[in-house]
Amino acid sequence: MNRAALFDVDGTLADTNHLHVTCWWEALRQAGHAIAMHDIHRAIGLPGEDLLTHLLGDDHDADEDDALTAAHATLYGTYFDRLPALDSAAELLRALDRTGWRVVLVTSAQQAELDALRKAVDADDAITATAGPDDVKDGKPAPDPVHHALDLAEAPAHDAVFVGDTVWDMEAGTRAGVTCVGLLCGGIPRVDLQAAGARSVYRDPADLLAHLDDSPFAREGRVRRPRDRTHR
């Protein structure tokens, strides 16, 4: 039976959350919306339309959503050639791949952005598949992206761990019935991640990698060391 290691990307594997905050703030400012960066930060991780509804209210003029999203994408695109991966992100994915986990990215990033993120993380050899926003009707915190990722990994929920940095990640994973691990590197407090369903919380990918053998990936006999290929 397959085991799935599901990963959010922005703020979890790449240090990009505050870039998103800045770009959304500027896109909103140009359109005449004064939104505090703190509020934008707490909305990062939601799909674009949901983020705008969260920030501007259910009764906002949805006709401007496409223009705001395009402005954000244009601004954020200026960083594509220098997006920073978080320390040990690639090593963490490769360590899980070596021990038999199917690594699947669960992201709301569109394809061009995802390509830039994957280039930054530089661990394509360890990634089995990607569950993107076009694959599901509802994005995080709905469980749909996680369910789709499980399908791609051909793994059951009880043999899956979802690693993310936002409450939206933790809520989506909890609703899908998977074990959730929170990372603090996205800027969300530990207590909020735990309240949203995180079973364990680590500082960043390097911290999770350093404690992998004591993490939810190792509990209940989850980690299976690679077979010695010299013996048949």
Q: Give the per-residue pLDDT at 223.
A: 46
Same-domain status, 10 and 31: no
Task: Please give the residue range of the domain that contains residue 25.
Answer: 17-78
Q: Give the per-residue pLDDT at 41.
A: 98
The total domain count for the chain is 2
Q: Give the per-residue pLDDT at 191.
A: 98
The tokens describing 119, both together, are 């280039």
Q: Is residue 189 part of a domain?
A: yes
DSSP-derived secondary structure letter, 61: -
CA gap 30, 118 in Å, rounded: 30
Q: Give the per-residue pLDDT at 219.
A: 73
Q: Is residue 123 part of a domain?
A: yes
Same-domain status, 217 and 107: yes
> Which regions of the chain does DSSP assign to beta strands (E)?
3-7, 101-106, 127-131, 160-164, 179-183, 200-202
Q: Is residue 226 part of a domain?
A: no
Mean pLDDT by 10 residues, the chain (232 residues): 96 98 98 98 95 96 96 98 98 98 96 97 98 93 98 98 98 98 98 98 98 89 42 30
pTM: 0.93
The tokens describing 27, both together, are 């896109």
Q: Give the per-residue pLDDT at 168.
A: 98
Q: Give the per-residue pLDDT at 189.
A: 98
- Among residues 48, 78, 108, the one where a domain terminates is 78
CATH number of the domain within which 24 lies? 1.10.150
